[in-house]
Structure 1
Amino acid sequence: MTIEPLKVWHDRGGALLRLRLARPKANIVDAEMIAALTAALDAHMSDTAILAVLIDHEGPHFSFGASVQEHLPDQCDAMLKSFNALVMRLVAAPVPVLVAVRGQCLGGGMEVAIAGSRIFATPDAKFGQPEIILGVFAPPASCILPEKIARSAAEDILLSGRSISGEQAFALGLVSEITPEPEAAALSYFDHALAALSPSSLRIAVKAARLDMVERIRTKLCNLEHLYLEKLMSTKDAVEGLTAFIEKRPAQWEAR
């Protein structure tokens, strides 16, 4: 039996598009999840009655991240291009994208979250980009984090691979609101800040507010896609780190 990875429906009289990651507990952002999120955005973002999108999740965790298997050389080209395209769809979305996070929000899952407009998270949620620990790097996060928080904090997250709590992410400005009920807080934000607005004017205001950022991220992400596929994945250490993770053993780095 095939279980759909994403639940899609309309809320608030059709003004709020709901997208729910629905493969707990890991909610892995694999090829199927990427395709489902992309299809949902393609199908609904042209609906001019929509004022916002809310992405949340089933289970205790937002996402453990992307599929490590799909990062291996025989699959990473297609995976990375489709994932980067999804991230750009979220960054350049014509309406605000709200994200509600509990538990782990790591790797590709964190990149989905930070591509949105506002994150609502529990104090004990965990945000992290652990890719460097596996010998690789996170292209979308490398573009988005320096746009949202101080560069020194962004580089710490990207280069150490450590996780930070929801409270720490809030202090950095990455999370908009800390709350024990992120979904309810996101819905409350929609009701009080967005529901009464003109849909057409909001779309123009979103474009105005994000225009330069969207173009910077688009240009940088294109360059980092090339760096990842042509440079990083030609090194022995990148393949070794991914393989070691899959085989559940320590990586043996060769510095090449």
Structure 2
Amino acid sequence: MTDNPIKTSVTGHILEVTLDRPKANAIDLKTSRIMGDIFTDFRDNPDLRVVIVTGAGEKFFCPGWDLKAAAGGDAVDGDYGKGGFGGLQELRGLNKPVIAAVNGICCGGGLELALSADIILAADHATFALPEIRSGTVADAASIKLPKRIPYHIAMEMLLTGRWIEVEEAARWGLVNHVLPAADLMSEARKMAELLASGPPLVYAAIKEVVREAEDMKFQDAMNRITKSQFETVERLYRSEDQLEGARAFAEKRDPVWKGR
């Protein structure tokens, strides 16, 4: 077992986070706390605009909770750290784009980690499942998120039976955005990240807050919150230099230069 279960690298405004815990990239309490610190720093660092989350190796993205660690004393209800399990799924105020590059088996808490991303790219050999039912436990975050992301009956079948789906089926139900040859996965994820990093960060923040907060609201209630200046990110955008820059760039027929302020 590596002493450093999470590898990070920064290129420009892009952070890459690689889960590296041989043999399967499972997450124990210590790893989850490290991930929480990394994603919190990403959220709060104005120089970082996009994050790519992936797994080391070619077989596993992440199988979720480390059952061997649990057998050794890690409590399933222990301290996962900032952002909850894997550092992402309960991290408040994360208003920057998150890309999951699923490089292999993605199941249990690993699928919940991927569901915490905004965009999911998957290698052509990736597979997905929620096998918690077979060990007598509940995939709690997936029970909340998955029926909202894919057709209800498909989500319930996965939750109630634990069956595996291949990447082509995952794409058919809209669980992943794009299926890619394994050799191209990270290069395409980086292209996507570069595209997002070149965009307006204040707009991304507004989009993410509105989408997140409006998920369980009626349409008109959400619109009323916008018109009454009750979304902080939207108000910041409308009072920003970037808002003026966008208009000027359009009028001057040039590419805008986004400063995030």
Alignment TM-score, normalising by the size of structure 1:
0.75
* AA at the equivalent of 1:63: C
Residue 213 and residue 84 in structure 1: after superposition, are their counterparts in 2 closer, same or farther (change >3 A)?
farther
* AA at the equivalent of 1:159: L
RMSD, aligned α-carbons: 2.4
1:213 match:
215
Residues 1:187 and 2:190 aligned together = yes
- Deviation of the 1:39 alpha carbon: 0.9
Residues 1:66 and 2:56 aligned together = no
1:150 match:
151
CA distance in 1 between partners of 2:6 and 2:80 (Å): 20
1:139 match:
140
Residues 1:95 and 2:93 aligned together = no
Residue 83 and residue 116 in structure 1: after superposition, are their counterparts in 2 closer, same or farther (change >3 A)?
same
* AA at the equivalent of 2:188: A
> Of Structure 1 and Structure 2, which has the larger fraction of its residues in helix?
1
How many residue pairs align between the two structures? 211
Conservation of the 8 A alpha-carbon contact between 1:98 and 1:117? yes
CA distance in 2 between partners of 1:74 and 1:38 (Å): 17
Conservation of the 8 A alpha-carbon contact between 2:9 and 2:15? yes
- Deviation of the 1:150 alpha carbon: 1.1
CA distance in 2 between partners of 1:206 and 1:25 (Å): 34
Structure 1: any 5+ residue segments left out of the alignment?
A: 216-256
| Rg (Cα) greater in structure | 2
Alignment TM-score, normalising by the size of structure 2:
0.73
Q: What is the percent sequence identity of the aligned residues?
A: 30
* AA at the equivalent of 1:209: V
CA distance in 2 between partners of 1:132 and 1:98 (Å): 28
Conservation of the 8 A alpha-carbon contact between 1:48 and 1:199? no
Structure 2: any 5+ residue segments left out of the alignment?
A: 218-261
1:10 match:
10
CA distance in 2 between partners of 1:51 and 1:152 (Å): 36
SS at match of 1:4: coil
CA distance in 2 between partners of 1:52 and 1:214 (Å): 26
SS at match of 1:20: strand
2:201 match:
199
* AA at the equivalent of 1:45: R
